[in-house]
Chain A
Amino acid sequence: MATLGATYDRIRGQLQDYQRVAAGVIGAWGLWALIGALFIWAAVDERQLFVIGLIVGSVLALGAIGLTLIYGILRFGNFAHGDTMMLGAYVAFFFLTGLVKEERRDTSIGFGLGDLPGATDRLGDLSFGYGFLLAAAGAAIVLIAFSVGLDRLVYRKLRQRKSSIVVFSTAAIGVAFALRAVLLIIWGPEPRTYFAGITPKNEYPFDILLKTNEIFTFLVAVGSAAVVYVILFRTKLGKSMRAYSDNPELALVSGINTDRVITWTWVIGGVLLAVAGVLLALQANLKPELGFELLLPLFAAAILGGLGKPQGAFVGALVVGVCQEVSVAYFSAGYKPAVAFVILILILLIRPRGLFGSST
């Protein structure tokens, strides 16, 4: 055992030296340069995939921002984040169509927002009508209620008990599985789409083909991120959230109402997840398992950007999205999560605090 221990020490020592050198050489600037080079190469060589990657990344960003906020303020990894996103997507589906699964087929509760006059009339080139937007708003409300309610029921009690972060994360995993089971109970395992039919792709400069849906997705995602930015950086509440994330004790010392900070974290996270879930469902079929599969890219994005730093999560998500989509040109699509994993491991090796993280 002793010689093994000595070997570990030597290896670890060497690794730490290597890491210090790498971190010094690479540092934040190096990482940015790397990302910049990657983006430029992808934009030139794999234009179509690059653009799709940006779109996918922008949707991931909404989840990653919420995730990183929860990390910074509540200090734990919310492993239920992906499944909560799916909850939002499914709830919106339900509001729109009124469908749930009975024994083997769907049954309707009688009314869905899609039944409103003209609700499914396509808005321009998009694949949906105003009914979809209403359903999305409904999903946001449900997710807010769910997230805040869950915090009151579970996480707050754990906070009062001063539980370790592992207990929080384990509870989150339990919630994740329970959520997925609920989705399976109500809507079954078959893939779901919001709308039948095909939407056309339009041609854009540089030989890029995009559905209007996809442009809509990107704009909404970026817009939502911008709204969050304004909240966090230009309002008193947002500043208090960032302050609390920096230094919870000093925030308390300054008189900041920590309960309010925590509640708003869940609210913002919930709304972002609803938007992300709905946008995701526009692009792909809904399956309950998607929630768990999203965890890897979401966490990779948040860690790459620096935990607790929403601007980092945004950038990180774009990077993960681009890398994942561009990888399809070289590897099978089944490997996309592997790409996120590789990014994760690389960051942990080179610069664990991420792009915007501080070295405390």
Chain B
Amino acid sequence: MISPNRIVSASVLFLVAFFVTALPFERSGFDAEGTVSFLTTFLTTVAIYGIFALALNVQWGYTGVFNFGVAAFFMVGAYTAGIVTKPPDDSEFVQYIGGFGDFLSPDVLDSEEWLRFVVGTAAAGFASGLLAFLLSIPTLRLREDYLAIATIGIAEVLRRMVIEEGSVVNGTNGLVGIPRPFGGWFDPSDYKYAMLVIAVVVLVLVFIAVERGIRSPWGRVLRALKEDEEVVEASGKNVFAFKMQGFVLGAVIMGIGGSVFAYARGSIGPDSFTHFFATFLFWAMLIVGGSGNNWGAVAGAFFVWGIWNISLQLNGYDMPGVLQTRVFYIRDFLIGAMLVMILLLRPQGLIPEERRVSIWVDRRMRRLQRKQPPPTAEAGP
């Protein structure tokens, strides 16, 4: 039987989809083509954000690593892809390192349409993963919220470095003119459809990879880690190594997502990676959608970004001046409050987690119990 929870979730998602489509349609004077164009951009962003939500799910939903600086990995991925795919900097007003775009475009097989992007994305994933690796060394053995503050810190520090050191990635002006994969094959006005396909393809590939990885023996240990670290430790598995692997894997995916973001947007700057946009929003997506669950991550991305867009649309309507200037802040407040409410009232999110790992943990726990007395219960918060 379909549970009432499922019905609520499905209806909520449907409502969002409806308004995301209906509002611009109505506001544009029923311009179907314009609306389709708008929806394409919308869904492209949803796909990209879905990649991030999936990555965060690997880190938190599965491994139990508390990454509050997604912006850092996002930024590293996007900027790496940018400097790899762009041609070298050529004016005194624009300065950045890298610029391998021309080098990676030999005159064969139309390579300027795809080669540098593949390299760019690979480099983005690698750079992001490397950052995660380095960051995990001082923090992963400690309690979860040490990593949280360290990730908040690195995100903020990197952002400032980008601003202060103007010659690395062109400071506050950012990188503009990031090329587009397969850009030469399409008319500029049609390109957005190609981008959507690219984004969705990457999302699907990531989704499949994560699903397979999670159901593998390695993935099972990872998920058991989140449930009960002590049991995993007592079973002789190297907890630190597994945590690091989960964290790094998630970061690699974030780097990949960052690269797709850079290609889709064409220009990035330090303001694209504020904590709110590049970290908090993804957490909201994951929690609302349902952590520990890949479908939930994607659904959450759709839902939150849908709400975001609906609020943008609503701002276009007439309303009292007092409200007009603050619609966005009201929306921010609602998202923050929504996160808290979800944690309080419906922590499992829109699409609840599958409880598969318990069997593994239970079996191990019983095996251990026969050997020694159980651990002391904690009377904490």
Residues of A within 8 A of B (CB): 1, 4-5, 8-9, 11-12, 15, 74-77, 79, 102-104, 154-155, 157-159, 162-171, 173-182, 184-185, 188, 248-249, 252, 292-293, 295-296, 299-300, 303, 332, 334-335, 337-338, 340-341, 344-345, 348-349, 352
Contacts and interface: CB of A to CB of B under 8 A. Distances in A.
B218 interface: yes
Interface stretch (B108-116, B299-307, B322-330, B354-362): B322-330
A299 B149 contact: yes
A185 B330 contact: yes
Number of chain B interface residues as a range: 35 or more
B347 interface: yes
Nearest to A349: B138
Contacts of A171: 339-340, 343-344
Contacts, number: 172
Nearest to B280: A177
A175 B343 contact: no
Contacts of B137: 11-12, 15, 349
A167 B347 CA distance: 9
Interface string B115-153: 000000000000000000000011100111110111011
Contacts of B330: 181, 185
Contact of B153 (A5, A103, A296): A296
Nearest to A15: B137
B333 A178 contact: yes
24 contacts: A1-B218, A5-B238, A8-B240, A77-B148, A102-B322, A154-B344, A158-B344, A163-B347, A166-B60, A166-B144, A170-B339, A171-B339, A171-B340, A174-B339, A175-B340, A177-B280, A181-B329, A252-B379, A296-B152, A340-B153, A341-B153, A345-B150, A348-B146, A352-B142
B381 A296 contact: no
A335 to B, nearest CB: 6
B378 interface: yes
Interface in B182-218: 218
A76 B164 contact: no
Contact of A169 (B66, B142, B275): B66
B146 A154 contact: no
B332 A8 contact: no
Interface of B: 60, 64, 66, 68, 137-139, 142-146, 148-150, 152-154, 156-157, 160-161, 163-164, 218, 238, 240-241, 244-245, 275-276, 280, 283-284, 287, 321-322, 324-326, 329-330, 332-333, 335-340, 343-344, 347, 376, 378-381
The 3 closest A-B pairs by CB, nearest first: A178-B336, A174-B339, A181-B333
Contacts of A163: 343, 347, 381
Contacts of A165: 143-145, 381
A344 B244 contact: no
A10 to B, nearest CB: 11
B343 A158 contact: yes
Contacts of B275: 292
A248 B146 contact: no
Given A249-B378, A295-B149, A348-B138, A8 B66 contact: no
B325 A103 contact: yes
Given A348-B146, A348-B150, A177 B161 contact: no
Nearest to B275: A292
A225 to B, nearest CB: 22
Contacts of A295: 149, 152
Given A8-B241, A295-B152, A341-B153, 13 more contacts: A9-B238, A12-B240, A77-B145, A103-B325, A158-B381, A166-B145, A171-B340, A171-B343, A184-B329, A185-B326, A249-B376, A249-B378, A338-B156
A159 B335 contact: no
Interface centre among A5, A77, A252, A292 (most CB of B within 10 A): A77
A168 B336 contact: no
Contacts of B321: 103
A348 B333 contact: no
Contacts of A178: 332-333, 336-337, 340
Given A76-B145, A170-B339, A178-B337, A185 B329 contact: yes
A329 to B, nearest CB: 16
Interface centre among A9, A163, A177 (most CB of B within 10 A): A177
Contact of B379 (A154, A173, A249): A249
A167 B326 contact: no
Nearest to B276: A177
A8 B244 contact: yes
B160 A338 contact: yes
Given A5-B241, A158-B343, A348-B139, A177 B335 contact: yes
B303 to A, nearest CB: 16
Contacts of A155: 381
Contacts of A249: 376, 378-379
Nearest to B339: A174
A163 B160 CA distance: 35
Nearest to A178: B336
A305 B240 CA distance: 26
A170 B326 contact: no
B325 A173 contact: no
Contacts of A15: 137
Interface centre among A173, A184, A249, A337 (most CB of B within 10 A): A173
Nearest to A4: B245
Contacts of B153: 296, 299-300, 337, 340-341, 344-345
A344 B287 contact: no
Nearest to A293: B156
Given A103-B321, A177-B276, A180-B332, A332 B150 contact: no
Contacts of B60: 166
Contacts of B322: 102-103
Nearest to B345: A157
Contacts of A77: 145, 148-149
